[in-house]
Amino acid sequence: MNLATDTVTLGQSRAGDSCVMVIFGATGDLTRRKLLPALYNLAKAKLLSRKFALVGAAVDPLSGDAFREHALEAIKTYATDEAGEPDQDLLAWFAKRIYYAQGDFRDPEFYWRLKDLCCTEVSGKNAIDDNYFYYLATAPAFFGEIVRQLGQAGLAKEEGGHWRRVIIEKPFGHDLESARALNTDIKEVLKERQIYRIDHYLGKETVQNIMVFRFANSIFEPIWNRRYIDHVQITAAETVGVERRGGYYENAGAMRDMVPNHLFQLLSLTTMEPPISFAADAVRDEQTKVLRAVQIPTPEDVLSKTARGQYDEGVVQGEPVCGYRAEPDVAPDSKTETFVAMRVMIDNWRWADVPFYLRTGKRMASRTTEIVIQFRRAPLVLFRNTAIEQLQTNRLVLHIQPNEGISLQFGAKVPGPVMQLGSVRMDFNYQDYFGSTPNTGYERLLLDCMTGDATLFQRADMVEAGWSLIQPVLDVWKALPPRAFPNYAAGSWGPKEADELLERDGRHWVNGG
């Protein structure tokens, strides 16, 4: 069913430029599950240039044929084709334009071989324009090194109107200092406009819709402020544990893994001022501005306005699961947090005194990412025999995943001779209106990079603003290791400290709004 009859194309919608994409870390999970299927989906939607080729770069000793087979298999398994079966002609088309470069990313000689492969074999054979984008899907320790080596081998230099772009995966740095150092290093080789720091949350339809919802409709913006909004909750709850990523997660923890990137993206899109245009820098200026207006937590704030947790064994969706400390590659006495909640305040005219409660955790009761906008109570009790606390408040929920949509809760009269109020909900589900299109979440981001639109990528100052806000928390947490970990059962909504955080303000979490 397609009920949305009036659709308008916003901005440009054109196929990506002719280019060669080089994926560093091409044998890893991200390439297999997301990048390759996303390229297929783009080609299927006719948004990938016919003059395109892919070079997989990795350390694994594979032949070109073996990598090609691996890549096609990944597409067959993960491309979300509606018909179920992948398009054989398209697979054959891909098979002719997939190459492999094996080598050690620290070895300068590898980059000269890569250059040779790209210039002679890859672009020559496929008549591709001299545009390159490099996707760094490697361990973060390689980011700076790869960019430096690309520079030394002349692979990052833009000449004759052709572009060179680099997509850098997260985590971008381990703390404020290392993020700044990485920015400094890569900027020695690249101009800011060549750098695309990815945050895959921005590839999600519903995240992009926050801007459309706020700025393409006239009715919400007038009430989008401290006068009408009581508080906002941003939740990214996952039911999965750390899966096979214990090694990475032990050093990261929930705060670094989710907050300065994904949660702050949601926060900034929800709270920023209207940009003067949808040009990349206009949007990112506003996002950065609002992040800079967030109060930097003092050590006292860290103690009273943040909560951390680690999951114990429990039951998730009917299945018994182990605690974090029993996961592979995790220390049996690990102090790493798998849950974070924090209250942030924004010092500007729009948001002064409105608390924003952020939380994220692994092994929680349900997989839910959503933004709850809780409006203030009506100012006057018209229904005299109803206690004021029983009067309904309005709540708008932006459902990011898994159910994508928006719902609005308001009070309505229960039919009958007695005056009774009930709470009702108006729901908009994406799927009802637009159906579902094959999407891994990376299509839009890859396309934007191929057309040179950096709006949905993080700029250096945004990344640093995000780290500056959590650095004081990381510092205090490091100085005061948690005493009572594990402190929440897998399959619950997190530790009691997170509930207490809101209870102190006379509020409670909305679990699955």
Instruction: Rank residues 130 and 205 by Cβ distance to ligand BG6 and give the closer one.
Output: 205
Choose the catalytic residue: 174, 262, 399, 508: 262
C-beta closer to ligand BG6: residue 369 or 407: 369
Is 461 annotated as belonging to a binding site? no
Cα(55)–Cα(40) distance, rounded to whole angstroms? Answer: 15
Burial of 364 (0-12, 13-18, 19+ CB in 10 A): buried
Among 239, 255, 257, 474, binds ligand BG6 (CB under 6 A): 257
CB of 257 to ligand BG6, least distance (A): 5
d(CA 263, CA 170): 13
Tokens, residue 412: 């309505």
As measured in angstroms, the least distance from the Cβ of 238 to ligand BG6 is 5
CA distance 68 to 38: 16
Active site (annotated) includes residue 70: no
Q: Is 234 exposed, middle or buried (0-12, 13-18, 19+ CB in 10 A)?
A: buried
Q: Are 57 and 24 in contact (CB under 8 A)?
A: yes
Q: Site residues for ligand BG6, window 236-255 (CB under 6 A)? A: 238
Q: How far apart are CA 58 and CA 66, in angstroms?
A: 13
Q: Pick out residues in 351-390 that bind ligand BG6 (CB under 6 A).
A: 369
Q: Which amino acid is at 17?
A: D
Is residue 496 part of an annotated ligand binding site? Answer: no
d(CA 132, CA 470): 35
Q: Is 120 annotated as a binding residue?
A: no
Choose between 202 and 498: whose C-beta lies nearer to ligand BG6.
202
CB of 236 to ligand BG6, least distance (A): 6
The CB-of-56 to ligand BG6 minimum distance in angstroms stands at 22
Q: Residue 196: helix, strand or coil by DSSP?
A: strand
- Do the Cβ atoms of 133 and 165 come closer than 8 Å? yes
Please, which of residues 268-307 interact with ligand BG6 by CB under 6 A?
none
Nearer to ligand BG6, 103 or 441 (CB): 441
Q: How far is the CB of 114 from ligand BG6 (least distance, A)?
A: 27
Task: Tell me: does residue 169 bind ligand BG6 (CB under 6 A).
Answer: no
- Between 305 and 362, whose beta carbon lies closer to ligand BG6? 362
Hey, what are 153's tokens? 């081998």
**Nearest residue to ligand BG6, by Cβ distance, number only:** 257
Binding residues for ligand BG6, how many (CB under 6 A)?
A: 4
Q: For the chain, how far is it from start to end, CA to CA, in angstroms?
A: 26
Contact 358, 335 (CB under 8 A): no
Task: Provide the annotated binding site for substrate.
Answer: 200, 204, 238, 257, 362
Active site residues: 262
For ligand BG6, the binding residues (CB under 6 A) are: 170, 238, 257, 369
